[in-house]
Each structure stands twice: as C-alpha cells, then as structure tokens.
Chain A
C-alpha cells in the first residue's frame, strides 16, 4: 500500500503547492472576468470598446514583436561567433552574456535610464560632438523601451542559440560545402533549418518576456508608453478597478499560453533531426 502511494507522497507537496497557490488564484482571477453586473463577457467588451485599452494592447504587441526580431538577429550573430570561437575567447564571450543575465531587470533598466537621460552619456556625447545644441529627452519613447528590452533579452538569445549552434554536427556543414555549396547557401539550407527549433524557442521566450514585462516599460516608457504589465498594475493599484485588471491579466495569460503552445508545436515539427 505504502509502496503504491509513495510516488504520490513524494510528488504530492509540490503538486499541492501549484494547485492551491497557482491554479486556484489564477483560475479564479480568470473566472472573475467571464461575467460582471452588465452580463457575460462584459469585461472584455469594455476592454475592446475602449480605444485607450486597445492602444495599450497593440503597443505591447508592437514593442514585443520589434524586440523579438532585433533580439533574434543580434543574438544569432553573437551566438554564431561564440560557437566558432576557440576555448578562451568563447568563455569570455559567455561571461559577457551571463553577467547581464544574472544582473536583475531593475539594475539593467536603470543603466538605460542613465544612458538616455538628460545628463546621460548619449546626450553628453552628442553635445560635445556639436550634433545637438541642447540635451533632448530620449526617455519615455517607444525607442527607449525597445532599446532597453533588446538589451534585456539578447543575452538570453545568445545562450539559447550558442548551445544549439554548437550542437550542429561539423560533418554536415563540411559535407554541404565540399559538395559545392556557397557559404550563404550553407547558412540558408543547412545551418538555419537546423537552428530553427532553438530560434523559435528563443523567440518565444523573448516575445512572452516582453509582452508581460513590468519594470522596463515602467522605468523607460512611463505613462506615455504604457504596456500591458504597467497597465495591469495601474488598474489594480491606482484606480482599484480589479475587474479591469483581471481582464488585462486574462488577456496576458491567453496570449502567452497560445504563443507558447503554437510555437513549441511548430518548433517540434520543424526539427529536421527528429524525423
């Protein structure tokens, strides 16, 4: 009897923790959005009927997409070089990627606050070069949020892809070039397809990370560039509109899970090594 139950006794506490303190609270937050005094799905109608809220959603999608594309391109280039570097240089590059990753979001976003501020390094540089007459404000723009966000996610992309690119068998690449494929053809027809599953997983991490972020849009975007995360906080803690906040939360959950499920399926199907 004890023997039959022992797997459950071991896995039980952790399962219960997730059940009671994740599935129950998040589930009841989502459940609360299904209906209110005005009827079924009224909170969603309120959300999509408000042009301000639609703008926040569209802005969040736009910023997250741009961040993802830039992070994928920069991360791929950096990871590709990392994968080809000899031992010592490779470790230096990996340290340069891991260090920011282990440094918190607040510290890293704060760095961009100093960089882009009125007395910041970028303004001082532009002033001393005579390119501008007086410091101008770069903060609280879409560009500032995207720059800080890319900075946040490129290390993650590098580490995700470095392992994948290193895992590509050398003889496959050599076979392609010895059969006469030009470097670009090797890249497009051999390396890219083999890296695709890793690329998709990295892109999903970046997109969902940006889509649900709080600290970076709060610090660098402010009220003007409100995103879903900052909007959720504002609804809940400033205007105490908990139904509104729950609706924002529900949309974030649905978008995140949909993207993760769809893209991991796609990544699995695109894996040429699995077939």
Chain B
C-alpha cells in the first residue's frame, strides 16, 4: 500500500483512538471520586469504593461464580472442541461437509435467543439446575473458539509427523499429547484466552440463566446499577479493566497482540 497519508486522515484516526480510550479513564476517575454519586471529573480522592465492593456479599459470590463458570466452561469447550477440531482437519474426507457448519451455529444464533431458549426448554423444560444450564450455555458460547481457533492451528500442522510417530509404534493418544498438542499450543492458548474473556464478560446468555442464588458478575453489576447509582460500580469496572490488562499482557507475552488482527 502507499505509505503517504493525508494529515487530516491521521488527525481523524488519532481522535477515534482517543475517544476509544477516554471513556475508560472516565470510569477510573469516577471510581476514586470522594462523592456518594457518580461524577467526573473526580472530586477528592478515595479508595473507599474499592473496599466497598468487598463489603457487598453479592459482588463476592457472583465474582466467584463468574470465574468458576468461565474456567469450567472454557475447559469443557476445549476438552470436546479440540478433538472435534482435530477430527475435522484430520479426517476431512471421512466426515460430512456440513459437520463443520454445526460449530458455526453458536455464533449465528443470537446469544439472547440461546439464553431464553435454554431457560425455557432446559432449566424449566428438562428441570436441570440453574448452575448446570448456565455452565452449558457458556460452554456453547465459547465452543466456536475452541473448534475454530484450534482448527486454524491444525490446518497448518503437517500430519505426516504424526504418522511417523505412529508408524514408529507410539500409541495414538500419546502421539497426540506429545507430538500434535505441542505444535498447536499457540492456538490452544489463544482459544483459551478468547473464550475466558468472552465468558466472563457475557450478559446476554447469563441474563436468563441466572436465578436465586446463582448469578454472574455482569448481571449483578446491572442489577446493582438499577438500585444504587454509586461509584462502587465504577470501582468494580476498574477491577474488570485490570483483568483485561492482565489478559492483554498474557496475549502479548505468548502470541503477540497482532495475532488479533489476523
């Protein structure tokens, strides 16, 4: 591409990036403001809203549920998604071509529709516990990452290496664990990170799959916001942003951030 850019173009783009980041600083300001209501610019400085989060039991329990669901859901999705991605790449000819489209469905069906349908037909229809349906919903939500991101790594894997190991007498499972898996580890890490962050931030699926005693952090934030409009919400948001920073640091260290533009 040409390398010369019109100055006006650079100015507009800089403004766009500034506006993308600015609101997040506004939250940071609101979180440390020494006022009982949300405001910006901050008046005074206090960390009491951060300690306030830990006083509220609902935030503690929902944060734990969110972490559990995100870890378990991602783990389950990888556990069944990696073999599926492997089969789709390794046995392309022996599996019907529509099978790979099955794993596009969780992206294609609107999340809020999936959440509502799971509540209506699984929680109530099949009488499954709320927690189980919530976990299944999140596993479905992140399954496409496991199948597609890991699948992309497998697409560039040379299966003749695997055949060499098997022909030398290595059992199939050991071959997978010691030969295939190390070669696709970047894809597995990417899938894990994307799935985890998607699950922990999800609203639309969880909306219908939370009930008395079982709720997730984003749903609890929404509920808290409707009752109290105080800086506690801003400080919870700051903690969630810190989680994002942590995730980005992991991405940068393992894969490099540019992998997200591919």
**Bound CA span A16–B238, Å:** 39
Q: Tell me the residues in window 58-95 of chain A with beta carbons closer than 8 Å to chain B beta carbons.
A: 74, 77-78, 80-84, 91, 93-95
Chain B residues with CB under 8 A of A212? 110-113, 204
- By size class, the interface of chain A is 35 or more
B30 → A minimal CB distance (Å): 5
Q: Is there an interface contact between A119 and B37, defined as CB atoms closer than 8 Å?
A: yes
Chain B residues with CB under 8 A of A102? 197, 244, 247-248
Q: Which of A34-42, A44-52, A165-173, A266-274 contacts B (4 or more CB under 8 A)?
A: A165-173
Q: Tell me the residues in window 156-185 of chain B with beta carbons closer than 8 Å to chain A beta carbons.
A: none
Chain A residues with CB under 8 A of B10? 81
Q: Does A108 contact B (CB under 8 A)?
A: yes
Q: Does A56 contact B (CB under 8 A)?
A: no
Q: Tell me the residues in window 187-211 of chain A with beta carbons closer than 8 Å to chain B beta carbons.
A: 191, 208, 211
| Nearest chain B residue, comparing its CB with the CB of A171 | B1
| Nearest chain B residue, comparing its CB with the CB of A245 | B116
Binary CB contact string for chain B from 10 to 54 against chain A (1 if under 8 A, 0 otherwise):
101100110111011011001000000111110000000000000
Q: Does A236 contact B (CB under 8 A)?
A: yes
Which of A159, A191, A211, A215 neighbours the largest number of chain B CB atoms within 10 Å of its CB? A215
| Nearest chain A residue, comparing its CB with the CB of B17 | A96
Q: Is there an interface contact between A22 and B105, defined as CB atoms closer than 8 Å?
A: yes
| Nearest chain A residue, comparing its CB with the CB of B76 | A17
* Overall SS of chain B's interface: helix
Q: Is there an interface contact between B241 and A107, defined as CB atoms closer than 8 Å?
A: yes
Count of A-B residue pairs with CB < 8 Å: 271
- By size class, the interface of chain B is 35 or more
Chain A residues with CB under 8 A of B87? 6-8, 10-11
B49 → A minimal CB distance (Å): 13
Q: Is there an interface contact between B39 and A119, defined as CB atoms closer than 8 Å?
A: yes
Chain B residues with CB under 8 A of A163? 261-262
Chain B residues with CB under 8 A of A166? 1, 261
**Bound CA span A144–B24, Å:** 17
Q: Is there an interface contact between B136 and A256, defined as CB atoms closer than 8 Å?
A: no
Q: Is there an interface contact between A253 and B113, defined as CB atoms closer than 8 Å?
A: yes
Q: Tell me the residues in window 104-140 of chain A with beta carbons closer than 8 Å to chain B beta carbons.
A: 104-108, 110-115, 117, 119-121, 124
Cross-chain contact of A77 among B13, B84, B201 (Cβ < 8 A) = B13
**Bound CA span A102–B121, Å:** 31
**Bound CA span A115–B103, Å:** 39
A144 → B minimal CB distance (Å): 13
A231 → B minimal CB distance (Å): 10
B136 → A minimal CB distance (Å): 5
Q: Is there an interface contact between B203 and A124, defined as CB atoms closer than 8 Å?
A: no
Q: Does B257 contact A (CB under 8 A)?
A: yes
Q: Is there an interface contact between B261 and A253, defined as CB atoms closer than 8 Å?
A: no
Q: Does B188 contact A (CB under 8 A)?
A: no
Q: Does B61 contact A (CB under 8 A)?
A: no
**Bound CA span A18–B258, Å:** 31
Q: Is there an interface contact between B27 and A114, defined as CB atoms closer than 8 Å?
A: yes
| Nearest chain B residue, comparing its CB with the CB of A176 | B2
**Bound CA span A74–B15, Å:** 10
B2 → A minimal CB distance (Å): 6
Binary CB contact string for chain A from 218 to 231 against chain B (1 if under 8 A, 0 otherwise):
11000000000100
Q: Is there an interface contact between B20 and A151, defined as CB atoms closer than 8 Å?
A: yes
Q: Is there an interface contact between A18 and B26, defined as CB atoms closer than 8 Å?
A: no
**Bound CA span A92–B92, Å:** 40
Q: Is there an interface contact between B237 and A151, defined as CB atoms closer than 8 Å?
A: no
| Nearest chain B residue, comparing its CB with the CB of A121 | B40
A95 → B minimal CB distance (Å): 6
Q: Does B86 contact A (CB under 8 A)?
A: yes
Q: Does B58 contact A (CB under 8 A)?
A: no
Q: Is there an interface contact between A252 and B110, defined as CB atoms closer than 8 Å?
A: yes
A1 → B minimal CB distance (Å): 14
Chain B residues with CB under 8 A of A146? none
Chain A residues with CB under 8 A of B81? 14
| Nearest chain B residue, comparing its CB with the CB of A218 | B222
Chain A residues with CB under 8 A of B262? 163
Binary CB contact string for chain B from 63 to 94 against chain A (1 if under 8 A, 0 otherwise):
00000000000000000110110111011001
Cross-chain contact of A81 among B13, B111, B258, B260 (Cβ < 8 A) = B13
| Nearest chain B residue, comparing its CB with the CB of A23 | B105
Chain A residues with CB under 8 A of B24? 99-100, 103, 107-108, 111
A28 → B minimal CB distance (Å): 5
Question: Would you give 11 A-B contacts (Cβ < 8 Å), ordered by A?
Answer: A78-B13, A100-B20, A103-B244, A106-B201, A111-B23, A114-B234, A151-B20, A151-B23, A163-B262, A215-B218, A233-B208
Known: A102-B197, A107-B241; 12 extra A-B contacts, CB below 8 A, are A17-B140, A21-B122, A74-B16, A77-B9, A78-B13, A104-B202, A111-B26, A114-B30, A212-B113, A214-B204, A236-B116, A256-B108
Question: Nearest 7 pairs between A and B by C-beta?
Answer: A104-B201, A111-B23, A212-B110, A81-B13, A7-B91, A10-B87, A14-B84
